[in-house]
Copies of this chain bind each other. A is one copy, B any other.
Amino acid sequence: MRLVLDAMGGDHAPDAVVEGGVLFARAYPGHELVLVGDATRVRPVLERAGAPPNVHLHHASEVVEMDDPATAAFRRKRDSSLRVGFELVRQGEASAFVSAGNSGAVMAGGMLTLGRIPGVERPAIAALFPALKGEGRCLLLDAGANVDCRPSHLAQFAVLGEAYSRTRLGVKRPRVAVLSNGEEESKGTQLTRDASALLRRSDLDFVGYVEGKDLFSGDVEVVVTDGFTGNIVLKTSEGVGMGITGLLRSAIEKRGGLPEKLGALLLKPTLAGLRRVMDYAEYGGAPLLGLQGVGIVAHGRSSPRAIHNALVTTLQHVRAGVQEELTRCIANAAAWLPPHQRGRKADGDEGND
């Protein structure tokens, strides 16, 4: 299999990204990895890292920066690593594209290059939350691509997330919920109420509303919300997780005496396990579900290890046949989500289509 990696995307690009690509290529010598980016900047890192023969460099002269406005930057920079990388996927030269760049720009690039699966109104970013209780990990869509959503968008996010949870994560019958400010039907906004009404007619295992804490309860596998709320939820939980591990570390390292240091030493495997659960680097990037092709966004702060993991995730994503299942499920959803329902205009919709 051949994967494409955006060498220029992310806070620590190209160094951390290229090093992560090399880690992956060494671990998976049976696959090909194409690094897309500015050759004058990428080649020295590749040489220093001692890239194996299954790593290839594909030059692209421009870079979409983290703070560029997404769609405009993509359109203007015709030789950006983002566009060139997605083009390789569109032309069938590669199976998937991975980037640690600005997720809005990556999504815009995927939309403009690959287009959408037939019937999909808005592709979504799917973020996987670590299980803090029980076994099941929870998938949240949309984690930030679509700020203003219609009820039909949320219903489609549910279809995409359920198909992903089944095919890629191996959940037999994922439970699907709408994120709200309380479990009672009387709670929520017009958007959550209308989306719930659509989902109650679906063939999904729709359990109604859940609250923020349920993302970690193991009681539900797919949670849908608009991209504004989803992004805030994602960043909040990152903030708490990093804050707590930071507090623990500083309590032990800085303020701790001999007993604390000995205690920390004895608890090292436990604390390391906890850190791994909380650390995004162990999680393998967020798929953009609904594109006509496979695109994965890695965290902007990705370390080489995180890039490696995102590439492994991508490999598994392609192998699992996620794309085919998404296409089938969106087509089937037309039975309970008729086109005239989909066209319904939501308040504040900005029509990014």
Contacts and interface: CB of A to CB of B under 8 A. Distances in A.
A234 B229 CA distance: 12
Contacts of A187: 147
A232 B214 CA distance: 10
A69 to B, nearest CB: 6
A270 B262 CA distance: 13
Interface residues of A, number: 65
Interface in A216-249: 216-217, 225, 227-229, 231-244, 246-248
B263 A251 contact: no
A145 B231 CA distance: 22
Interface string A270-303: 1001100110000000000000000000000000
B239 A241 contact: no
Contacts of A236: 212-213, 215, 233, 236-237, 240
Contacts of A133: 243, 246
A189 B346 CA distance: 13
B189 A147 contact: yes
Nearest to A243: B132
Nearest to A266: B263
Interface in A324-353: 347-348
Contacts of A265: 263
Greatest chain B CB density within 10 A among A69, A240, A244 is at A240
Nearest to A186: B69
7 contacts: A212-B231, A229-B232, A251-B270, A262-B263, A263-B270, A347-B348, A348-B348
